[in-house]
A and B are shown apart, each in its own frame.
Chain A
Amino acid sequence: MEVVTTTNGMELVYQKPSTLTDTPFHYCPGCGHGVVHKLLMEVVEEMGIQEQTIGIAPVGCSVFAYNYMNVDMQEAAHGRAAAVATGVKRVFPDKYVFSYQGDGDLAAIGTGETIHTANRGENILVVFINNAIYGMTGGQMAPTTLLGMVTSTTPFGRQQAVMGFPLKITDLIAQLPGAYYVTRQAVHTTNAVRKTKKALRLALEYQPRKKGICFVEVVSNCPSGWKMTPVEANAWMEKNMFPMYPLGDLKVPQ
Chain B
Amino acid sequence: MNQKKEPPRLMKGNEALAEAALRAGLQAYFGYPITPQSEILEYLTEHGAKRGAVVLQAESELAAINMVYGAAGAGARAMTSSSSPGISLMQEGLSYMTSAQLPCLVVNVSRGGPGLGTIQPAQSDYFQATKGGGHGDYHLIVLAPSSVQEMADFVFDAFRLSEKYRNPAMILADGALGQMMEKVSLPAEGSLPPGDKPWATVGKPASRERNIITSLFIEPERMEEVNLHLQKKYHEIQQEVRYEEIETNDAEILLVAFGLAARIAQKAVELAREKGIKAGLLRPITLYPFPSQIISSLSRKVISFLVVEMNAGQMVEDVRLAVAGGRPVAFKGRMGGMIPSPEEVLEEIESIAESYRIPAV
Contact = CB atoms under 8 A, between A and B. Distances in A.
A75 B63 contact: no
Contact of A51 (B59, B75, B204, B212): B204
12 contacts: A51-B203, A66-B210, A72-B203, A74-B70, A74-B100, A75-B212, A76-B69, A77-B92, A84-B70, A87-B71, A91-B27, A113-B66
B213 A74 contact: yes
Contacts of B210: 66, 70-73
Most buried by B among A70, A85, A86: A86
B93 interface: yes
Given A71-B204, A83-B58, A88-B201, A116 B67 contact: no
Most buried by B among A66, A84, A89: A84
Given A54-B202, A83-B63, A75 B70 contact: no
A29 to B, nearest CB: 21
A152 interface: no
Interface of A: 50-54, 56-57, 63-64, 66, 70-77, 80, 83-92, 95, 112-113, 116
Interface in B170-227: 201-206, 210-216
A95 B75 CA distance: 14
B54 interface: yes
A80 B89 CA distance: 13
A92 B205 CA distance: 15
Contacts of B56: 86, 90
B214 A77 contact: no
B62 A80 contact: yes
Interface in B260-317: none
Nearest to A96: B203
Contact of A87 (B67, B202, B211, B215): B67
State the majority secondary structure of interface residues on A: helix
Given A86-B63, A90-B71, 5 more contacts: A51-B205, A66-B214, A70-B210, A72-B212, A80-B69
Contact of B66 (A72, A73, A80): A80
Interface string B237-268: 00000000000000000000000000000000
A241 B100 CA distance: 37
Contacts of A75: 100, 212-216
Interface in B42-84: 54, 56, 58-60, 62-64, 66-76, 78
A211 to B, nearest CB: 19
B129 interface: no
A91 B203 contact: no
A59 to B, nearest CB: 8
A53 to B, nearest CB: 6
B69 A87 contact: yes
A84 B203 contact: no
Contacts of A112: 59-60, 62-63
A73 B66 CA distance: 15
Most B CB contacts (10 A, CB to CB) among A80, A87, A89, A95 go to: A87
B63 A116 contact: yes
A88 B204 contact: no
Interface string B80-100: 000000000000110010001
A85 B212 CA distance: 14
A66 B205 contact: no
B233 to A, nearest CB: 20
Contact of A53 (B58, B93, B203): B203
8 closest pairs, A vs B, by CB? A87-B70, A83-B66, A75-B214, A72-B201, A84-B70, A87-B71, A87-B67, A80-B66
Contacts of A76: 66, 69-70
Given A90-B54, A91-B27, A112-B63, A56 B204 contact: no
B62 A87 contact: no
Interface in B149-184: none
Contacts of B205: 51
Nearest to A119: B59
Contacts of A91: 27-28, 54, 70-71, 74-76
Nearest to B73: A74
Nearest to A50: B204
A47 to B, nearest CB: 13
Contacts of A95: 202-203
A73 B71 contact: no
A241 B40 CA distance: 48
B30 interface: yes
A12 B209 CA distance: 26
Nearest to A89: B70
Nearest to A54: B201
A176 to B, nearest CB: 13
B58 A54 contact: no
B69 A116 contact: no
Contacts of A50: 203-204, 206
